Amino acid sequence: MDFLPSNISAYAEAFTAPESELLYQLNRNTRAHIMAPRMLSGHMQGRFLSMISWMIRPRRILEIGTYTGYSALCLAEGLTDDGLLITIDHNEELEDFARSYWRQSPLQDKLDFRIGLAVDILPTLNETFDLVFIDADKRNNSIYFDLIIEKVRPGGFILADNVLWSGKVVEPVKPSDLDTMSVLAFNQKVQDDSRVENVLLPVRDGIMVMRKR
């Protein structure tokens, strides 16, 4: 996921607002104790998600893919006083880890953790969302998009992570590489969808930013 020279990345991070002590500890302990720590948003992307949330000031946020709860805390920073973030993940084994950090945050009451498959939970949500963050299994990105697009208010935003897929999107793809094929198909789907305006940002592993028209 290192698209920029390491010295440029280090410089950019040095001139980005630091993560809070709680986020630092969550970041550190995820990397030390949890499998696949590259799934963590981390300092730079976390501050980007927080900045987007503060810009929008959403009342309702939906996150698909919780992992250890770092991105949820970042996104929740910009919620309105009566705001709520619903986050969905199928891995119940990480729930206690995530909640142990959420309990240390003043935002804990704004976080609603739903355990289960997103394809089952999304149709049951009777909310209109201002901001959606898709960061789960890439093979279902297009399905998640279809399930949530009508639940996003006009002018609302959808973010999708890992849309550059470690640079594999610009390399020859084997038909057996279903993850890369899915990312490519999702990116094209968004590009062709007249319901959204989109920009693909090369932040970390790529973030597709979509505004619903």
Domain carrying residue 169 = 6-212
208 located within any domain:
yes
Number of domains in the chain: 1
The pLDDT score that the predictor gives to residue 2 is 65
107 located within any domain:
yes
The pLDDT score that the predictor gives to residue 1 is 62
Are the C-beta atoms of residues 32 and 40 closer than 8 Å to each other? no
183 located within any domain:
yes
- Average pLDDT of the residues in 124-145: 97
pTM above 0.85, yes or no: yes
129 located within any domain:
yes
Q: What is the pLDDT of residues 112-128, one digit of tens each?
A: 999 999 999 999 999 99
Cα–Cα distance, 151 to 136 (Å, whole number): 18
131 located within any domain:
yes
Q: H helices of 3-41, where?
A: 6-14, 21-33
1 located within any domain:
no
Q: What is the CATH number of the domain that holds 85?
A: 3.40.50.150
150 located within any domain:
yes
Characterise 152 by phi-psi region: left (phi > 0), alpha (psi -120 to 50), beta (else). beta
Q: What is the pLDDT of residues 167-208, one digit of tens each?
A: 999 999 998 999 999 999 999 999 999 999 999 999 989 999
Secondary element (H or E) of residue 118: helix 118-121
